[in-house]
Chain A
Amino acid sequence: MPEIFVLAEHRQGQIRDITYEMLTKAREIAEKANLMLTAVILGKEVKEKAKTLAEYAKKVLVVEDAKLENFNSDAYQKVLVNLMKEYKPTLTLIGHTSYGIELAPRLAAALNMPLATDCIDLALEGDTLTVTRQMYGGKVNVNATLRKAESYMVTVRQAAFTTQKPVTPLNGEIIEKPSLLTEEITTKRFIQYILPPPGGVDITAAEKLVGIGRGIKDQSNIPLIEDFAKTIGAVLACSRPIVDKGWLPNDRQVGSSGKTVKPKLYIALGISGAFQHVLGMKNSDLIIAINKDPNAPIFSFSDYGVVEDLFKIIPSLKNKIYELKGQKA
């Protein structure tokens, strides 16, 4: 029976959410196209984890090897090339994560297998695979088809699908496979994890956040925004470019490579709303965005939108707040 492979992603003993998100989507595709749903997990001691995956898949391939202790795309590629040549999955799903970005394109090239990256949706009809992905920082969606092939690979964006546990566990059969790795991988070697420096400010604990993005234009404008934030007792957070430029420390960054926040109030100032940012704040209770571009993706995630130059709004808004508080600015 033709199958769908879902590569389980795990780190420091934890299966990562993207795995279950992919298994959920793969289950839907497998049922429609009558494919075997197979989870694949590589690691040092991962048999226990395979049991959890078996609730979500009809089959689990487990490859255990001490050489697979830490993620190493070169080791993964060697193992997966063998497995994929043996099982010839119609479709292989890998997370569009730091691990997947390192692994999938090179693996696809080695197998000469068409790959679509960072997909937010996909559908298999007959032997045609159609995907949806985004371009231009999320301003445009694209439907695309992959070049006709017997096997396809797709990397899936985080949080594109919502995990749903099967109503009854699928009780997938767990099959152990040898890694066939004969020697240490010397081209690439994992040394250590590096933890973010302990931060002074915990933005995840704040009830109100004012997030600033590249639209604030210059570091010298930050005090103006800080003053405004103080009027409502909000903490300053930011998008990635603000940290990249060194304008704010990285403990203030909201998004996939920063913090996930869920405050009661998030005011986004001059933030375009790229998916990596939105991932970190879209579950805030109330979102107000001020952006001069009416088509900025951030508005699609906001409760209230203001299409205007933020520098025209903020000073006035500060005064209005003082008025409502009955204080003098």
Chain B
Amino acid sequence: MDIVVCVKHVPETAEAELKIDASGKGIEKSGLVFYINEWDDYALEEAVRIKEKFGGTVTAITVGAEDSDSTLRKCLARGADKAIRLTDPKFAGSDGYATAKILYSVIKNLHYDLVLTGMQAGDDGYAMVGPILAEMLGIPHTTMAKKIELEAGVAKVNRELEGGLEEQLEIKLPALISVQTGINEPCYVSIMGIRKAMQKEINVMTLADTGLSEADMGETGSWLKIEKLYVPPAEKQTEFLKGTPDEVAAKVAEILKARGFI
């Protein structure tokens, strides 16, 4: 079972303070901590587990800048055999569609039985790279997988619907599956794994290796052009309670009492 896993190096933003940059079209990246996209972490784990069960190889691939190496190293440390980084200044500004084209240009030349992706990336949240890539590769796909079982020539997949409901599908292999969080429990990286990963090579490719033209990527090759970023308007008028922790706690308690909850 040869598996290709698409991963993305993204900033951790849930706890960080975000600042819109001078262009108004992006956020200031300096000072942010980057890591493997949450959904891709589950995809990688799933790939490694399938490899442990059925044998074969896992190749991690990313479109990103040089600093994506830390994410690829993590993949190697966790059990990926090979890593490919697609890096070119011309790739900047690519949306999910352009990114899918770049990934396709390389993956089409690899041997794979399964391509795994996260169902979305936590930064721009497109949830489109997987299915578009599947269309380009001409293979079946499914998304939001919560369970994957492989049988002869097919994958049985439980995919998430709304409100806790799931559906079970069967798709023919080779196939692309985008995974949802909670499909497994990603492991921690072992020291052994990190040592081994340092010895493995990251294969770096550029625009010239893709066979694509400049017009296929970046803003010109994308469906979407970002015009402006802004802070979302609040839906409710929030009253912020201020003071020392003790004072604030007292205020909260008073509110609870006034509303009859105590």
Query: A residues touching B (Cβ–Cβ < 8 Å)?
Result: 11, 70-71, 73-74, 96-99, 101-106, 108-110, 114-118, 130-131, 133-147, 158, 186-196, 208, 214, 232, 240-241, 243-246, 250, 253, 256-260, 264-265, 272, 282, 286-289, 292-293, 295, 297, 299-309, 312-313, 316-317, 319-321, 323-325
With contacts A134-B232, A187-B172, A194-B165 taken as known, whether A144 is within 8 angstroms of B259 at the C-beta atoms is no
Cβ-defined partner of B144 (8 Å) among A101, A110, A187, A244:
A101
B160 at the interface (CB under 8 A from A): yes
Q: Assess the B135–A147 pair: CB atoms within 8 A.
A: no
Question: What's the Cα separation between A322 and B186 when bound, in Å?
Answer: 40
Which residues of B from 96 to 151 have beta carbons under 8 Å from A?
Answer: 96-97, 100, 119, 122-132, 134-136, 140-144
With contacts A97-B162, A321-B256 taken as known, whether A140 is within 8 angstroms of B230 at the C-beta atoms is yes
B94 at the interface (CB under 8 A from A): no
Question: What's the Cα separation between A250 and B171 when bound, in Å?
Answer: 27
Residues of B within 8 A of A264 (CB): 261
Question: What's the Cα separation between A304 and B254 when bound, in Å?
Answer: 12
Residues of B within 8 A of A11 (CB): 161
Q: Assess the B259–A188 pair: CB atoms within 8 A.
A: no
B201 at the interface (CB under 8 A from A): no
Subset of 14 A-B contacts with CB under 8 Å: A98-B144, A98-B160, A103-B131, A108-B223, A114-B224, A117-B128, A118-B125, A143-B228, A194-B168, A214-B14, A240-B181, A241-B181, A299-B238, A301-B235
Residues of B within 8 A of A324 (CB): 253-254, 257, 262
Residues of B within 8 A of A105 (CB): 96, 127-132, 135
B239 at the interface (CB under 8 A from A): yes
Assign chain B's interface to a size class.
Answer: 35 or more
With contacts A140-B231, A187-B140, A306-B240 taken as known, whether A232 is within 8 angstroms of B256 at the C-beta atoms is yes
Q: Assess the A192–B167 pair: CB atoms within 8 A.
A: yes
Residues of B within 8 A of A289 (CB): 238
B18 at the interface (CB under 8 A from A): yes
Residues of B within 8 A of A319 (CB): 249
Residues of B within 8 A of A232 (CB): 256, 261-262
B189 at the interface (CB under 8 A from A): no
Cβ-defined partner of B18 (8 Å) among A265, A282, A295:
A295
